[in-house]
Amino acid sequence: GAGVSQSPSNKVTEKGKDVELRCDPISGHTALYWYRQSLGQGLEFLIYFQGNSAPDKSGLPSDRFSAERTGGSVSTLTIQRTQQEDSAVYLCASEGGLAPYEQYFGPGTRLTVT
């Protein structure tokens, strides 16, 4: 596709359940980021994949959060035993434009934990 896609667009889950969020980056882009944005707040970096290198997981808030990127393309962010404070918009960004670090964002997944 022409841009970054994310699914689902909205997810409502009960506290304690696991959720999986998916990101399809722009074809050919080598780097992929996950961010979290709470209402009215800035972007919170979660994790960064670059090619075949080990991911930078320094932003993951707890061990309930994990992510993988299969075949250097699609990425899945998994949140185990969700908590109400996990409610936020989860944004994926694909990097690989003409400028170093040039990123393009997907539409996000709005997660609500009840």
Partner 1 sequence: QKEVEQNSGPLSVPEGAIASLNCTYSDRGSQSFFWYRQYSGKSPELIMFIYSNGDKEDGRFTAQLNKASQYVSLLIRDSQPSDSATYLCAVGNTDKLIFGTGTRLQVFP
Spatial CA neighbour of 27 closest among 89, 86, 97 = 97
- Is 55 among the residues that bind partner 1 (CB under 8 A)? no
Nearest approach in angstroms of CB 70 to partner 1 is 21
Query: Does residue 107 interact with partner 1 by CB under 8 A?
Result: yes
Which amino acid does the sequence have at 92? C
Side chain identity, residue 112? T
Question: Does residue 7 bind partner 1 (CB under 8 A)?
Answer: no
The partner residues of 24 in beta bridges, in order of sequence, read 5
Q: Please name which of 45, 33, 42 lies closest in space to residue 95, comparing C-alpha atoms.
A: 33
State which of residues 56, 72, 73, 76 lies at the interface with partner 1 (CB under 8 A).
Answer: 56
Q: How far is the CB of 100 from partner 1 (least distance, A)?
A: 5
Contact status, residue 66 vs residue 81, Cβ threshold 8 Å:
no
Cβ at position 16, least distance to partner 1 in Å: 28
Of 24, 25, 29, 33, the one binding partner 1 by CB under 8 A:
33
